[in-house]
């Protein structure tokens, strides 16, 4: 009986430590996804609006708009 308990502990203990590492990967993925969202949205805005705009701060406005858009999308 004691041997069976020790075998179970030997199997499940490493699995528990592995499960504890998963949230860090998920948090990193969320940060990466948000950065990619901002980059894509800003590039789309710059390529569609700023090429024909005469505003000097068009790229800054695109970046700010992209950050707001991606922040709202993540909530």
Going from the C-alpha of 8 to that of each of 1, 19, 26, 48, 69, the distances in angstroms are: 11, 17, 28, 60, 49
In this prediction, residue 45 carries a pLDDT of 92
Classify burial at 42, counting beta carbons within 10 Å of its beta carbon; exposed 0-12, middle 13-18, buried 19 or more. Answer: buried
pTM: 0.57
DSSP 57: T
Beta-strand runs (E) in the chain: none
Determine how many CB atoms are found less than 10 A away from the CB of residue 45.
Answer: 19
Which tops the pLDDT comparison, 70 or 14? Answer: 70
More confident residue, 2 or 54: 54
């Amino acid at each position: 009986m004691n041997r069976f308990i020790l075998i179970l502990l030997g199997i499940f203990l490493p699995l528990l430590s592995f499960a504890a590492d998963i949230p860090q990967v998920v948090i990193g993925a969320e940060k990466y996804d948000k950065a990619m969202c901002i980059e894509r949205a800003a590039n789309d805005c710059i390529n569609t609006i700023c090429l024909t705009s005469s505003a000097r701060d068009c790229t800054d406005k695109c970046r700010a708009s992209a950050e707001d858009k991606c922040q709202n999308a993540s909530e």
